[in-house]
Amino acid sequence: MTKPTKAKTRPQRNPQRSRMGSPTVNKAEAARRVKKISPILKKAYPRAKIALEFVNPLELLIATILSAQCTDARVNMVTTDLFKKYKSAADWVMADIKQVESDIKSTGFFRNKALSIKGACTKIVEQFDGKVPSTMEDLVTLPGVGRKTANCVLGDAFGIPGITCDTHVIRLSRRLALSQNSDPVKLEFDLAEIVPKKSWTHFSHLLISHGRNCCKARKPNCPDCPVAEHCPAANKPDLW
């Protein structure tokens, strides 16, 4: 006669953890945390700003499209000559697609990026009188432009508050328990509720600067982190 097997019991979930492994989020507490860490990060990164180099909205739009799966440093190297060659949306429209691909090849995924740039500039010329639109509603109608790119252009080219949810903002928002969402759009709306609107653009740059310099993906430098005392994930590898 076989012995009855014991029923397996599942380990109980820690109520202080979310299903994704990040600390649970309370919006009121998250808003207070933003208020506490913002001045600290401003002091730590007084020159926090967008790393992409540009002089007008079109250049930033192109640079942001090129930055997908590519470092900002590489994009800046490429656009140094690129923006001397293509100075208007019409220049991009008239350019041969193969030539554009060749000009941007070192940024990676150059075929898709060339199509996006050509498509976006064609719509800018045909529907927006050759000027980059300055609203979220219009920007996201351009080929290759999602909310992340649109917020970047709005915030840094037009001075209209926008939250840019790149990989650093996503990672730090979860570690700091500002949001449990890793989806950029859902995260954007979460942060919009707890960060003062006038600070949206700069807060994004502060998180990006902190992500690049201290709170890195594989090994955050918690011992030297200026906001560690306000971070639920500080010195807790299981929450990284």
For 226, the token pair is 């200026």
Active site (annotated) includes residue 238:
no
Q: Which of 42, 72, 138, 166 is catalytic?
A: 166
- Judged by DSSP in three states, 209 sits in helix
Distance CA 208, CA 113 (A): 23
Catalytically annotated residue among 148, 190, 198, 238 = 148
The distance in angstroms from the start CA to the end CA of the chain is: 49
Q: For residue 42, indicate whether it is catalytic.
A: no
Tokens of 198: 């006038």
Q: How far apart are CA 45 and CA 215, in angstroms?
A: 13
CA separation for the pair 15, 116 (Å, rounded): 44
Tokens 């002089």 found at: 55
Active site residues: 148, 166
